[in-house]
C-alpha cells in the first residue's frame, strides 16, 4: 500500500466513526425529550394491560426493566410460570421503592408494586438488544377479585447503552482523526526531507553573472512596490535568495526569488516539483495563500527555452489561483528575457506579476 494513502484511510475511518457516533447521540437513544415526568410513559411504554386472573406470554429483554402496576386498593400476586428463577419479580417493598411513581410517572387508578428483571436470564452485556427468552407471567388477586393490572416496559438503560456507544464512537473517531493528522504531517515532513535531499545535489549558485548588487537591486525594486521583509529566507523548507511578503485584502502573498546558474531539463524538473509542492501547500478550503516564484537564471538551455517560448508557461503548466496557489516568472540573464504568464485577472496576480517582471527586466538591462 502507498504510504501516502495511509493518512487518508485513517482520517476517513476517524471521520466515519465520529459521524456515526454523533448521529447516534443526536437520535436521543435515552429518550430524554420523548416524555416528561407528568406523563404516564415516564415509567415506560404500555406493554400489557388486562384484568385478573390473567396470564401474559411474551419475549423479554435482559436490558429492559418491566414495571408492574395494579389497581389501587388491590393486592396481586405475580408469578413467572415457566422459570426456575425465584427473583425475576422484585416487589417494591423489598427496596422500599413503592412510592417511586407516586408523583413522577403517576398513573391514575394504579399503584406500583414492583418490577420484572430478567438480567440473570440474559445473554450478557455484549448484546443489549438480545432476548432473555419467552416467559409467561401470571397475575392473581389474593381474594380472587377482578382488578386491573399492567406491565410497562422501560428501555432507558438500553438507550443509555446505545448513548454510551455513540459517545465512545465519537471519542474514538476524534482520537483516530488526531492520529491521521499526525501521520499526514509526518509523511509530509518526510516528503520535504526527500525534496531537500534532492535539492542538495543542485549546483551552488555562482555569482559570476548574477551579482549581489543585482540581487540588491531586485530587493530594492520589490520593496519600492510594496513588498515587506524582503531578505534571504527559508520558505516551506526551501531556501531562497529573497523572500518577501504582503497582503492583498485578506490574502497573504509571498514573493520567492531563487538564483540558478543554469536551467536545464534536470533542474527544470526539480523546480517543477518544488512549484507543485509550494502550490499544493498554499491552497486551503477556507482562505489560501498565494506566491510569486521568480527564478533568475544565468543560462537557460535551448530545450527549456523553446518550451518556455511556446506558450509562456510551458515549463510548469497552468495553475489557477483558486483557493490559493502560485505564479512563476523565469528571468534569463543571458538574453535579458523574462518568461512567464502575466494574466489579466485576478487583479492581484496581474499586478504583482507585472511589477516583478518589470523589476527583473530593468535589473538585467543595467
Report the chain (366 residues): mean pLDDT per 10 consecutive residues. 65 84 75 60 85 90 86 90 74 84 83 81 44 81 91 79 82 86 70 48 45 88 94 92 91 92 86 86 77 88 62 39 74 86 84 92 86
| Coil vs helix vs strand at 59 | strand
228 in a structural domain: yes
40 in a structural domain: no
Examine the domain organization and report whether 73 and 115 are in the same domain.
yes
Examine the domain organization and report whether 341 and 273 are in the same domain.
yes
At CA 289, angle to CA 288 and CA 295, rounded to 5? 140
Which of 85, 119, 154 finishes a domain? Answer: 154
- CA dist., res. 161 & res. 142, Å (int): 38
138 in a structural domain: yes
Q: Where are the beta strands (DSSP E) in 275-336?
A: 290-297, 325-332
Examine the domain organization and report whether 212 and 359 are in the same domain.
yes
DSSP state letters, 90-130: EEHHHHT-TTTTSSTT--TTEEEEEEE--GGGS--TT-TT-
95 in a structural domain: yes
- CA dist., res. 282 & res. 324, Å (int): 6
Examine the domain organization and report whether 111 and 222 are in the same domain.
no
Q: 111: burial class by Cβ within 10 Å (0-12, 13-18, 19+)?
A: middle
Total count of domains within the chain? 3
Examine the domain organization and report whether 220 and 183 are in the same domain.
no
Examine the domain organization and report whether 125 and 274 are in the same domain.
no
Q: Which domain holds residue 115?
A: 45-154
30 in a structural domain: yes
Handedness of CA 169, 175, 177, 179 (dihedral sign): negative
pLDDT of amino acid 265:
83
Q: What is the DSSP letter of 123?
A: -
Examine the domain organization and report whether 317 and 254 are in the same domain.
yes
Which of 201, 228, 263 finishes a domain? Answer: 201
Give the residue from 87, 91, 86 showing the smallest Cα distance to 75. 91
295 in a structural domain: yes
CATH number where 123 lies: 2.60.120
Q: Which helix or strand (DSSP H or E) is residue 156 part of?
A: helix 156-200
Examine the domain organization and report whether 100 and 83 are in the same domain.
yes
Q: What is the DSSP letter of 178?
A: H
Q: Is the peptide bond before 153 cis (omega within 30 degrees of 0)?
A: no
Examine the domain organization and report whether 85 and 169 are in the same domain.
no
pLDDT of amino acid 70:
93
Examine the domain organization and report whether 272 and 346 are in the same domain.
yes
Examine the domain organization and report whether 83 and 186 are in the same domain.
no
Which of 124, 154, 184 finishes a domain? Answer: 154
Examine the domain organization and report whether 1 and 104 are in the same domain.
no
Amino acid at each position: 500500500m502507498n504510504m501516502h494513502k495511509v493518512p487518508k484511510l485513517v482520517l476517513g475511518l476517524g471521520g466515519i466513526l465520529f459521524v456515526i457516533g454523533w448521529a447516534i447521540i443526536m437520535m436521543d437513544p435515552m429518550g430524554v425529550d420523548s416524555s416528561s415526568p407528568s406523563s404516564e410513559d415516564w415509567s415506560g411504554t404500555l406493554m400489557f394491560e388486562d384484568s385478573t386472573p390473567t396470564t401474559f406470554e411474551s419475549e423479554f429483554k435482559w436490558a429492559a426493566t418491566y414495571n408492574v402496576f395494579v389497581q389501587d386498593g388491590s393486592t396481586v400476586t405475580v408469578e413467572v410460570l415457566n422459570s426456575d428463577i425465584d427473583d425475576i419479580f422484585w416487589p417494591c417493598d423489598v427496596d422500599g421503592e413503592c412510592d417511586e411513581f407516586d408523583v413522577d410517572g403517576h398513573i391514575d387508578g394504579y399503584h406500583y408494586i414492583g418490577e420484572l428483571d430478567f438480567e440473570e436470564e440474559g445473554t450478557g452485556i455484549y448484546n443489549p438488544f438480545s432476548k432473555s427468552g419467552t416467559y409467561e407471567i401470571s397475575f392473581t388477586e389474593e381474594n380472587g377479585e377482578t382488578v386491573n393490572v399492567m406491565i410497562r416496559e422501560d428501555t432507558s438503560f438500553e438507550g443509555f447503552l446505545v448513548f454510551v456507544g455513540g459517545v465512545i464512537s465519537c471519542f474514538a473517531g476524534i482520537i483516530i482523526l488526531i492520529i491521521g493528522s499526525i501521520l499526514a504531517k509526518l509523511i509530509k515532513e518526510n516528503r520535504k526531507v526527500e525534496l531537500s535531499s534532492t535539492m542538495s545535489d543542485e549546483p551552488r549558485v555562482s555569482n559570476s553573472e548574477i551579482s549581489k548588487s543585482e540581487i540588491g537591486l531586485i530587493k530594492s525594486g520589490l520593496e519600492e512596490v510594496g513588498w515587506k521583509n524582503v531578505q534571504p529566507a527559508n520558505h516551506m523548507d526551501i531556501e531562497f535568495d529573497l523572500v518577501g511578503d504582503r497582503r492583498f485584502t485578506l490574502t497573504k502573498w509571498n514573493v520567492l526569488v531563487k538564483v540558478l546558474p543554469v536551467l536545464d531539463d534536470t533542474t527544470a524538473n526539480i523546480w517543477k516539483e518544488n512549484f507543485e509542492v509550494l502550490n499544493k501547500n498554499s491552497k486551503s478550503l477556507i482562505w489560501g495563500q498565494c506566491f510569486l516564484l521568480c527564478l533568475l537564471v544565468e543560462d537557460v538551455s535551448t530545450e527549456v527555452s523553446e518550451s518556455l517560448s511556446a506558450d509562456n508557461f510551458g515549463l510548469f503548466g497552468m495553475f489557477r489561483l483558486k483557493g490559493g496557489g502560485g505564479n512563476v516568472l523565469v528571468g534569463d540573464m543571458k538574453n535579458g528575457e523574462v518568461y512567464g504568464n502575466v494574466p489579466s485577472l485576478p487583479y492581484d496576480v496581474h499586478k504583482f506579476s507585472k511589477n516583478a517582471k518589470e523589476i527583473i527586466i530593468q535589473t538585467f538591462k543595467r
